[in-house]
Structure 1
Amino acid sequence: MKRRLISVAAVLLFVLAGISSASASGFALYEYSARGNALGGAVIGRADDPSTIVTNPAGITQLEGTQIAAGASFIMPNMDVSVNGNEVHGQNNIWVPPHFYVTHKYNDKWSFGVGLYSRFGLGTEFDADWAGRYNVTEAVIQTYSINPNVAYKVNDKLSLAVGVEYINVKMDIQKKMNLSPAPLPDDLSQTKAEGSGYALTLGLLYQINDQWKFGVGYHSQAEINAEGDLSFATNYGAPFNLVDTDVEGSVVLPDMLNIGLTYYPTKDLSIEVGGVLTRWSTYNELRFEFDDPVGPTSSYTSVTPKDWKDVWRYNIGVEYKALDWLTLRCGYTYDESPLNENRLDYLIPGNDRQLYSAGVGFNWQDWTLDLSYTYLWMKGRDYGNTVGVTGVQPDSHSKNARTDIYGITVGYKF
C-alpha cells in the first residue's frame, strides 16, 4: 500500500507543477475539495474530511485509520473589458487545480497528514493586439504546495496541529512593447520566473459541546525569491535596449487566517458560518531586477505598484445527510477584493465577488464521491482612478464577469 500511495503522490505532484487557475480574489485560490466548494469553504469548524489539512489541520484527529482523497476543480471564467468604447472578451480557458491528501491516525492522541494542492494561481489572456496589450496580453501564475502536518488531541474537546508548507511558484507574463514614434511594429516581451518558499501552518479544533464546534486554521507569510529571464520576440538593440536578459524578483505571499463556527441542530444537519482573513497588504509592488539594462532609459529595475489591502472572505454552508449513502450541501460566499483602485491593471481585472454553490456526496462502504457546482459573479471595475500603471487606459472597465466551477473528489478509507 505504501508503494501505491507514493506512486499516486508522485503523479499528483507532476500534475500540480503544471497547473494554474483563474478568477481568484487577488490571486488566491480556495478550491481545495468538492465538498469544501459546495459548502462555500465553510469547513473550518467541521474539519472532518482529509482536505482539512489545508484549512484546519487539527481536524485530522477526527479521521479514523488511513484516508486518502484526490480530485480537481474545473474553473471556467468569462469576462469582458471595455477600452475606449471597444469591448474585448477575455479568452475562454479551463483551469484545473487538483488536490491530493493522505491522513493517518497513529493512536488516540497523534495523527499525521500531508496535502498537495494549489493555494495561489492566476490565468489572464487577451488577443495579442487588444487595446490593453501594453499592459498585458497573457499572464499565468502557477503554484503547488506540499504540506505535511502533525496533530495532537489534547483531550476530548481540544486538538492542535502544526505543519510546514513548501510553496513553488512559476510566473509567465507577456505584453507588447510600444516602439512609436519609430516606424517599427510592437515587440512582444515575456517575463518567466520560478521560485519557492516556506510557510508555517497551524490548526485548532475545539468541541464546545455536542452541538457546537469551533475551528481555526492559519498559514503564515511566505517569501518567494524567483529567478528567470526576460526575452523579446525581435530583440531590438540600441536605442531600445530590448535584448534578452536574466531577471530576479521577490514577493511576500500573504498570511491567511481561517475561522469557523459549526452548529449541529440534529445529528444529520450542520450549519457553519465563518471567514478567511487574507493579509494582502504584504503585496506592495511587483519588482524585477535585470542583469542588463532594458528599454530606452536603460533601466535595471521594473516596478509595478500594487498597494493591496487586507480583505475578508465570508461564508456559510449547510450540510444535510438525507440518506445513509447521500449527503446534500449548499453554500454562499462573499469575497472582498484586495485591489487598490488607484493601482489597477489588466492582470487581475477583478472586484468583490459572490459565490453560490451546491453539491452532493455519495458514500459506499469505504468509498466516497463528492461533486459540486459553484456560480461566481463579480462586480464590474472602473479604471478611471488608475494612475502610473503602464498600458492601462483611464476610459476602461471590466464587466460581465462570471465563472462556472465544477468540483470532484474521490476518497477511500483503509
Structure 2
Amino acid sequence: MKQLVRSLKVIGAGSLMLGSASVMASGYHFGTQSASNQGVANSGAAEVMDASTIFYNPAGLSRLEGAQVSGVLNVIMPDGEYTNIKSTTATGKTITGGNGGNFGVTTAVPHMYGSYQINDKMTVGVGLFVPFGSHTDYENDWVGRYQTLESEIKTINLNPSISYKVNDTVALGAGLSAQYIEGTLSKALDLGAAANSALSGNKAYDGKSEVKGDDIGYGYNFGALFTISDATRVGLAYRSKIRHTLEGDLKFTVPAALQPTAIGRSLKNTSAKLNVETPESFSINGFHQFTPEWAMTADYTWTGHSRFDEIRIQATGRTDTVTVTNWRDTNRYSVGAIYTPNASWVFRAGLAYDQSPESNEAERIASIPDSDRIWYALGARYNINKNNSIDLAAIYVQLKDSTINRKPLDASEKAAGTINGNYSVDSITLGMQYNHRF
C-alpha cells in the first residue's frame, strides 16, 4: 500500500503540488476532468467524446475504436473576496484585521486517459485524474484567522476500467479506483485570550496550529449506456464513496513571550488523524442528434455531500477539535448544444446550475465558503486529421453572493470566536486537451 501511495505521488506530482480551487464545483469537487466535456458544462457524458468517458461513464468505452489517448490541462483562476461586518473573539471583543485578500489560489491541474479496444465486445482503459480539490488561503491578519488561515485538499485517482457491449442497444462498464488524498488545515490561535482576557485578539500574542496528513483509499464506479436509436443515447453512472483516514502531524507555533508559560508548554507537536469520506454520486445523462450539424446534451447529477457533517481532528494526547459542517446532499443540472459545421470543427456551449451543500449562514465554513452557482461554458474541437484533435474550453462560474455568521457549534470551537461578513466569489477555468487515435 505504501508503495502504491509513492507511485501515485510521482505519477500525479503536477496536480498534487498545486492543489485546486473550490470555486469550480460545489463542495470540494474539482469540477471538470476533460476540456471536451467542459465545453458543454459537463453535460456530455452520453455523447462519448473521447477516452475521458472513463471518468464520466465507463460504459462509453464501448464506442471508442482502436487505441486512443487524451491529455488534459485545466487552469482555474478564482476570485474570492470577503467583506467583514462584525467578527468577534471568544470573549466577544471585536477582532481587528483585514478581509483576507483574494483567498482563491490559481491552479493548473493535468488529467490523462487511455483506451484500448480488445474486440467488438470488450474495451479497457485507464484514467488518472483529480476528482476532488479545494484550496483557500487567507492573509495572516484577517479577521477570521481563529477559524481558518489555509485549507487545502488534494487528490489524485487511478481508475482502470472495462466495458462490455451486450448488444447494439446496451453497453455496461465498471472501474476500480485507488485514490490518494492529502490535506492541510491551519488557523491562528488566540493565545492572548488564554493568558489574559484583555489580550484577546492581540495579534502579537497569536499562535498557530497546522495539521497535515495523507492517505490512500479504494472505491469503484460503474455505468450503463443505452443506444435508443442512431440519434439518441441515454447513460447512467455511479461513483462510490471512498473512506480515508488521513494520518500526519499537528504542529504549533507559539509567540516567544508565551513559550515559557504553561500555555506555551502545553502546545506540543504531536501526531494527528482526520477521517474523510469523499461523497458518492449518481448521474443520468442524454444525447440527441437533431440534424447532421446540431446536437444536444443534458445531465443530472446527485452527490452525497451529507457525509461531510464535521471536520474532526484527533490528536494524540489532546481533546478532539471539531468543526461542525452539516452539509446536505446536492443536485446539479446541465445542458449543452453542439454545432458541427464541417469535418474540421465542432463548437460547444453549455449552462449548468450547481447546488451548494452549505444551506445557511450559521453553518457556512470559511475554509470552503460555498453557495449555489451557475456555469457558463464555451468550447471547440479542431480535428487536425482523422487521428489527432485538440479541444479548447472556457467556463465562467458565478457563485451567488452569500453571508457567513459562523458561531461556535461545538464546545471545541469556542476559542475560535465568530465570523460575520459577506462573500463574493467567481472564477474562470480554461481547458486544453489533446486527443490521439492510434
Q: Give the TM-score normalised by the residue count of structure 2.
A: 0.87
Aligned pair in 2 of structure 1 residues 288, 93: CA closer, same or farther (>3 Å)?
A: closer
Indicate how the Cα distance of structure 1 residues 386 and 209 shifts in structure 2: closer, same or farther if over 3 A, else same.
farther
> Distance between the aligned counterparts of 2:435 and 2:346, measured in 1?
15
Contact 1:306 1:340 in 2 (8 A): no
CA distance in 2, matches of 1:92, 1:316: 27
Q: Distance in 1 between matches of 2:337 and 2:330?
A: 24
Partner of 2:246: 226
Report the counterpart of residue 136 of structure 2 in structure 1: 124
Does 2:156 correspond to 1:144? yes
How many Å separate the matches in 1 of 2:408 and 2:19? Answer: 29
Distance in 1 (CA, whole Å) between partners of 2:211 and 2:406 is: 27
Identity %: 28
Which residue number in structure 2 is paired with residue 100 of structure 1?
A: 112
Per-residue CA deviations over 1:52-110 (Å, capped at 9, x if unaligned) read 10010100110110000002110011021112366443245311121100000000000
CA distance in 1, matches of 2:137, 2:423: 14
3-state secondary structure, aligned to 1:383? strand
Shift of 1:167: 0.9
Q: Residue 306 of structure 1 aligns with which residue?
A: 325
Work out whether residues 226 and 235 of structure 2, in 8 Å CA contact, stay in contact via their aligned partners in 1. yes
1:19, 1:249 → 2: CA distance? 21
Which residue identity is paired with 1:31?
A: T
Give, in whole Å, the separation in 2 of the partners of 1:88 and 1:11.
33
1:402 paired with 2:426, answer: yes
Q: Is contact 2:143–2:419 with CA below 8 Å preserved after alignment? A: no
> Per the alignment, in what secondary structure is the counterpart of residue 47 of structure 2?
coil
Aligned-partner SS, 1:339: coil
5+ residue gaps, structure 1, are: 1-8, 294-298
Tell me which residue corresponds to 1:206: 226
**Cα distance between partner residues in 2 of 1:91 and 1:343:** 19
Distance in 2 of aligned mates of 1:334 and 1:208: 27
Cα deviation, residue 232, structure 1: 1.3
CA shift in 2, pair 1:11/1:282, >3 Å: closer
**Alignment correspondent of 2:14:** 15
User: Contact (CA 8 Å) 1:245, 1:291: kept in 2 or not?
Assistant: yes
Asked whether the equivalents of residues 389 and 436 of structure 2 are also in contact (C-alpha less than 8 Å), the reply is yes
Q: Is the 8 A contact 2:115 2:123 kept in 1?
A: yes
Identify the residue that residue 51 of structure 2 maps to in structure 1.
50
What is the SS of the residue equivalent to 2:210?
strand
3-state SS of 2:119 partner: coil
- Closer, same or farther: CA 10–169 of 1 in aligned 2, 3 Å: closer
Q: How many aligned residue pairs are there?
A: 399
Distance, in Å, in 2 between the alignment partners of 1:78 and 1:396 is 17
Deviation at 1:10, TM superposition (A): 9.4
CA distance in 2, matches of 1:12, 1:407: 20
- Separation in 2, partners of 1:278, 1:99: 22
**Structure 2 CA distance, aligned partners of 1:142 and 1:230?**
18
Please state how far the C-alpha of 1:395 moved relative to its aligned partner: 2.8
**C-alpha displacement at 1:239, in angstroms?**
3.2
SS in structure 2 of the partner of residue 16 of structure 1: helix
Question: Aligned AA for 2:390?
Answer: L
Instruction: Return the alpha-carbon distance in structure 1 between the equivalents of residues 99 and 31 of structure 2.
Output: 30
Structure 1's 392 and 409: CA in aligned 2 closer, same or farther, altered over 3 A?
Answer: farther
Tell me which residue corresponds to 2:236.
Answer: 216
Is the 1:44–1:258 Cα contact (8 Å) retained in structure 2? no
Q: CA offset at residue 20 of structure 1? A: 1.4
1:378 maps to 2:402: no
User: Equivalents in 1 of 2:182, 2:391: separation in Å?
Assistant: 30
User: Does structure 1 retain, via aligned residues, the 8 Å contact 2:406–2:418?
Assistant: no
User: Of Structure 1 and Structure 2, which has the larger fraction of its residues in helix?
Assistant: 2
Shift of 1:174: 1.4
The 5-angstrom pairing of residues 320-331 of structure 1 reads 320-331=339-350
Tell me which amino acid in the other structure corresponds to 1:44: A
Question: In structure 2, what is the equivalent of residue 281 of structure 1?
Answer: 306
Please give the residue correspondences for 1:147-186 in structure 2 after superposition, counting only pairs within 5 Å: 147-181=159-193, 182=195, 185-186=205-206
1:239 equivalent in structure 2: 263
Is the partner of 2:316 in helix, strand or coil?
strand
One-letter amino acid of the structure 1 residue matched with residue 436 of structure 2: Y
Answer whether contact 2:231 2:290 (CA < 8 A) is retained. Answer: yes
